[in-house]
Amino acid sequence: MFYQIGRPRIICSFVKVSVCWLILTSGFVSGKCWAKLGCPWSPDQWFHYTVTVDTASLPVGIVAVEASDFSGNTQVYLTNSTTIPLLVNPPDPKKTYFESYPRPLTMKLVSGEGYYCDVRSIPMNCEMNSRINKANSLLDTPEIEKAINTGWVVKDDRPLDVKVPHPEPFEFNAIYGNKLITIHGTVSFSLNNKYDPKLGMKSRSLCDKLSQ
């Protein structure tokens, strides 16, 4: 079972724009339909990022697997083949939660399966969802999101002499069985070689036309 680490919520709007732009230009949806979607628009991302987990910080039986997403970034999925549960984004025992599944999601990986955890139930219930495939098992931690955001630039007209951001280390706590562990890793950056310097201008212009 695979679980994804490292994709920040900040890119959701960019994903929506890219998908909508692809659908519209492919002729699968009318201008009215596009307008009903709110006509989102956004520039392109300057850099791709790669999330790498330090395997030395993972317990035996837990493996990090890299996989590229549709926009060229490299994510990390974790698998836990052991019978010892691994909790990622464990809830704060001193905090009162008003949602059963607050962000970032608490997830339990065990015996090749994975579950979202209801942090309000006592004892904590981790059976909301199981056998989630890696296509929709998005998992982000605040620490990885913060590291990605150090090099996250979305804007038209990227300079020709732009400097690639330095790699950014991260670490986050998880619970393995009854033991608190710290997982380490790095987010590195590279130029987006398919960067469209006028994507924002073109998509906004199209939105303006459709809204008339």
- Cα–Cα distance between 157 and 85 in angstroms, integer? 47
pLDDT tens-digit map of 134-165: 544 555 799 999 999 999 999 999 999 999 99
Task: Report the percent of the chain where pLDDT is more than 90.
Answer: 50
Task: Report the percent of the chain where pLDDT is more than 70.
Answer: 72
Poorest-pLDDT segment among 1-10, 37-46, 59-68, 71-80:
1-10
Report whether pLDDT(105) > 90.
no
Does the model's pTM come out above 0.75? Answer: yes
Alpha-carbon distance values, 180 to 58, 85, 99, 116, 175 (Å): 12, 12, 24, 19, 5
pLDDT tens-digit map of 197-211: 998 888 776 776 666
**Residue extents of the structural domains in the chain:** 3-211
- Cα–Cα distance between 116 and 110 in angstroms, integer? 12
